[in-house]
Structure 1
Amino acid sequence: MSDMFVTLGTWNWLIFGIILMALELLAPGIFLFWLGLAALLVGLLSFAFAPGWQLQILLFALFALAAVPLWRRLARASAAPSQDNPFLNRRSAALVGREFTLEKPIVGGNGTVRIDDTVWRVAGPDAPAGSRVRIVQADGAQLTVAVA
C-alpha cells in the first residue's frame, strides 16, 4: 500500500482528476467535480514543484476542503430568485394579496377556491360559496384567506 503512495506522480493526479470529473457525468451533483478539480490542481502543482507524496496528499485534502465553501457560495449565488420572474417555482407565494371568489364554502376552517385552471385548498373563517376572499398567506398548496 505504501508503494502506491510513493509512486504518486503528476500523471496519476491528472488521470485521477479526469476520472472524478467523468464520474460526475454518471452521478451528477457537483460533488465529484470539486474533488476532480482538487486532483487536477495537485497534478499541475506537481509539474512545477515535484513535492513528496505526503505533501501531494495534504494538498489534495486542503484543495478538497477549500472547494466546499467555494461550492456553497456559488450554489447560493445561483439559487437567488430570478429578477424577471421572482415567483418561479413558488406559484402560491405570487397569490398573496390577491382576491378570489370561493368555489366551495369554508366550513370548519377549510374550503376551496378556483384560480385559473387549478382548485386550491383554503383555510380561514367560515364563509359561504361565492364570497370574496383575500389570500393572506401561502404555505405550499394550502392558502390562508381572510373574507374581503
Structure 2
Amino acid sequence: MDLVGIISSTGPWGWIIAGLLLLVAELIVPGVFLMWIGIAALVLGILSLVLWPFGFWGWQLQLLLFAVFTAASIIIGRRVLSNHDTASDQPFLNQRAAGLVGRTAVLIEPIDGGRGRIKLDDTIWVVEGPDLAAGTHVRIVSGDGRNLTVAPVE
C-alpha cells in the first residue's frame, strides 16, 4: 500500500497513531527530536478529526501542513528549551582554571622566560607572567585551560 492509500484508509486516526508512535520512539531513542515531529502529527490528527469530511482536505494539503507543523513545533520547542538558563551554585565546575582567578599563591619555581610554577591546594600549575623569583606572592589574574596568568601581589 502506498502513502496515499495509508492516509486515506486510516483517516484522521492515522496521524494520531503516527504521532503517538513517534512520541514512544522518543522515549527509546535519545535526542528530543522525534517529539517535535510527533507533536506535529498529533496536531494534524486533531485538525483532521474536524476537517476530514470536507473535499479540500486531501493528502497533499495534509502533507504540506505536516511539514509546516513540524517546522513550527521544532522552532517553538527550541525556543522553549533554550530559555531554561538556570543559575548554578558552582558556575566554574568544568572551568577549574577560571574558578581560580583572584586567588593568591607562592611561586615554587621562578618565572623565567614568562613561565613558572605555583602550588595551589593539591595541584601544581604552570603559570605565565613577568619574570619573578621563587617565593614571590602572586595573584591569579586569568586562566585558560591548563595555564594561569599571574601578577605579583602588591
| Paired residues of 2:7 and 2:14 also in contact (CA < 8 A) | no
2:87 match: 82
| Paired residues of 1:24 and 1:31 also in contact (CA < 8 A) | yes
Q: Deviations over 1:40-95 (max 9, x none)?
A: 111121122223322221222112111232233223212x2515444344343332
Question: Which residue type is aligned with residue 122 of structure 1?
Answer: V
1:59 match: 65
**Separation in structure 1 between the aligned mates of residue 128 and residue 73 of structure 2, nearest angstrom:** 45
Question: Which residue type is aligned with residue 119 of structure 2?
Answer: R
* Distance apart, 1:27 and its partner CA: 2.5
Q: Deviations over 1:71-125 (max 9, x none)?
A: 33223212x2515444344343332222222344434433343333344333323
- Any gaps of 5 or more consecutive residues in structure 2? none
1:142 match: 147
**Separation in structure 2 between the aligned mates of residue 17 and residue 131 of structure 1, nearest angstrom:** 67
**Separation in structure 2 between the aligned mates of residue 44 and residue 16 of structure 1, nearest angstrom:** 12
2:38 match: 36
TM (norm. structure 2) is 0.75
Aligned counterpart for 1:71 among listed residues 51, 70, 77: 77
Question: Which residue type is aligned with residue 101 of structure 1?
Answer: V
* Distance apart, 1:143 and its partner CA: 2.3
Residue correspondence of structure 1 range 7-22 to structure 2 within 5 A: 7=9, 9-22=11-24
Question: Which residue type is aligned with residue 47 of structure 2?
Answer: L
SS in 2 for 1:100: strand
* Distance apart, 1:33 and its partner CA: 1.3
TM (norm. structure 1) is 0.77
Please report the RMSD computed on the Cα atoms of aligned residues, expressed in angstroms: 2.6
Deviates more, 1:68-77 or 1:112-121: 112-121
**Separation in structure 2 between the aligned mates of residue 120 and residue 129 of structure 1, nearest angstrom:** 14
1:111 match: 116
Question: Which residue type is aligned with residue 87 of structure 1?
Answer: F
